[in-house]
Amino acid sequence: MDKLIITGGEQLNGEVRISGAKNSALPILAATLLASEPVTVCNLPHLHDITTMLELLRRMGVDLVIDEKLNVEIDASTIDKLVAPYELVKTMRASILVLGPMVAHFGEAEVSLPGGCAIGSRPVDLHIQGLRAMGAEVVVENGYIHAKTNGRLKGARVFFDTVTVTGTENILMAATLAEGQSVIENAAREPEVVDLAECLIAMGADISGHGTDTIVVNGVEKLHGCRFPVVADRIETGTYLAAVAATGGKIKAKNTNPKILDAVLQKLEEAGAKITCGEDWIELDMEGRRPKAVNVTTAPYPAFPTDMQAQFSAMNAVSEGVSILKETIFENRFMHMQEMIRMGAKINIDGNTAVVEGVEKLQAAPVMATDLRASASLVIAALVAEGDTVIDRIYHIDRGYECIEEKLQLLGARIKRVPS
Ligand code: UD1
């Protein structure tokens, strides 16, 4: 297992190019299963989760052509196995995204039930309920979800009693080929849901209301091919901005989209950052100052994203003042804080609330990454710690951050990867 060694104390300055969004690319790759013609997906980030999704499609017999820029042409017409096996689903929960498209297009799907994960129990009951409402027969047996439909799925009203991102995406995809109209209520409004809807529309789907909590889909008989670039990764963008802010530096994040980062940019301004934005770039300047502590409560979009909570806890750990962090989406998403406490952070955790008293500096310590965003937060903590921090189980970070060492090195960080 690789480790990262980071020598803290450098102020980060420079430019970074933001990659395509993992959480948009994954549903869009799954959506290619709905088309009767090849679909080309562009601006894919080079990440383990993307490789896993491509591997899943390949194992189903889907034809893939990848060019040197990682544009992938996907032809689902060659599919011959309607199964997402356990060994792939266990490494990536987002494999559940093939369920809706497979049933809708091919009338059948067998998808391994994802287990719990480090950040919480993460059930998929709402995905299953939604498909049942559309007439699919769904049985959960031997750790697998078996879904079937006789003829086309039927358009239906699907109400989610909890806002779910991949749940909304699964039902949205299924509805595009269903007979009649579907109305998804209390739908997720995340930019990645909007990006998926735009891709489906480019494939010929009839969708309106995406980006609001009510999405209306009029099913069509067939979807065609298209070429679609995935949106910029707002979480990768926010991670670099928070990292640079924690060090008091200056950064220009390019190839990104400031319009989908409102909640995060507002909190960074509150922390004392000067922020300037263009059409596809964001500049953050701390002018050498130490950040001010900011309170954060996570909630579905457009509120502050749970996927940025860990990075902000690292920034708050070295900020001036006391902050309160509340996690309302996942029940167990403070594991990084235990590691930060070992680095000298002053954090008191009570259930899903943490009180962080900023210290001037953290100290290096051997720490362990427990999930993707936790790893990113430990990288930030290490960047502002005195000495060499060794971060173990860094494979988590490769699931979601393209070329993180190279990008951080270009900003002036002292970071290297070592095999253990
Ligand atoms: C997606 C993102 C993840 C992000 C999360 C919340 C992808 C691939 N992953 O995950 O990075 O942290 O949104 O923004 O896009 N729930 C149920 N039943 C269900 C489904 C969800 O109870 O059937 C609950 C979950 O346990 C959780 C909440 O709903 O408490 C939100 O989860 P959800 O939005 O579904 O997260 P994911 O789509 O898995």
* pLDDT < 50 regions, the chain: none
- Residue 122 CA: nearest ligand 1 atom is 26
The catalytic residue among 117, 226, 277, 403 is 117
Strands 13-17 and 250-254: parallel
What is the rounded distance in angstroms from the CA atom of residue 410 to the CA atom of residue 404? Answer: 10
**Separation of 320 CA from ligand 1 center, angstroms?**
32
Residues linked to residue 182 through DSSP beta bridges, in sequence order: 217
State both tokens at 119: 């950040």
Tell me if residue 117 is catalytic. Answer: yes
For the stretch 286-327, pLDDT in tens is: 999 999 999 999 999 999 999 999 999 999 999 999 999 999
**Separation of 363 CA from ligand 1 center, angstroms?**
34
User: Do 297 and 308 meet the contact criterion of CB atoms below 8 Å apart?
Assistant: no
Look at ligand 1, atom 4, and give the residue with the nearest C-alpha: 307
Residue 116: predicted pLDDT: 63
What is the rounded distance in angstroms from the CA atom of residue 411 to the CA atom of residue 420? Answer: 26
Look at ligand 1, atom 5, and give the residue with the nearest C-alpha: 165
What is the rounded distance in angstroms from the CA atom of residue 182 to the CA atom of residue 195? Answer: 19
Look at ligand 1, atom 15, and give the residue with the nearest C-alpha: 23
Cis bond upstream, residue 302 (ω within 30): yes
For the stretch 347-363, pLDDT in tens is: 999 999 999 999 999 99
- Best residue among 126, 329, 373, 377 to mutate for probing ligand 1's pocket (most ligand atoms within 8 Å of CB) is 329
State both tokens at 160: 């989610």
Residue 114: predicted pLDDT: 87
Q: What is the pTM of this model?
A: 0.97
- Best residue among 89, 125, 166, 297 to mutate for probing ligand 1's pocket (most ligand atoms within 8 Å of CB) is 166
**Separation of 190 CA from ligand 1 center, angstroms?**
11
**Separation of 117 CA from ligand 1 center, angstroms?**
11
* Residue matched to tokens 């990292």: 243
Look at ligand 1, atom 39, and give the residue with the nearest C-alpha: 166
Residue 127: predicted pLDDT: 97
**Separation of 326 CA from ligand 1 center, angstroms?**
17
By the 10 Å C-beta count (0-12 exposed, 13-18 middle, 19+ buried), 6 is classed as buried
User: Do 412 and 14 meet the contact criterion of CB atoms below 8 Å apart?
Assistant: yes
- Best residue among 50, 129, 165 to mutate for probing ligand 1's pocket (most ligand atoms within 8 Å of CB) is 165
For the stretch 360-392, pLDDT in tens is: 999 999 999 999 999 999 999 999 999 999 999
Residues linked to residue 39 through DSSP beta bridges, in sequence order: 74
- Residue 94 CA: nearest ligand 1 atom is 8
Residue 235: predicted pLDDT: 98
- Residue 121 CA: nearest ligand 1 atom is 26
Q: Residues near ligand 1 with C-beta < 6 Å?
A: 23, 26, 94, 120, 122-127, 162, 164-167, 192, 306-307, 329-330
User: Do 320 and 293 meet the contact criterion of CB atoms below 8 Å apart?
Assistant: yes
What is the rounded distance in angstroms from the CA atom of residue 375 to the CA atom of residue 130? Answer: 33
What is the rounded distance in angstroms from the CA atom of residue 320 to the CA atom of residue 399? Answer: 32
- Residue 120 CA: nearest ligand 1 atom is 26
For the stretch 222-233, pLDDT in tens is: 999 999 999 999
For the stretch 329-339, pLDDT in tens is: 998 899 999 99
**Separation of 298 CA from ligand 1 center, angstroms?**
13
Within 10 angstroms of residue 175's Cβ, the number of other Cβ atoms is: 31
What is the rounded distance in angstroms from the CA atom of residue 99 to the CA atom of residue 81? Answer: 13
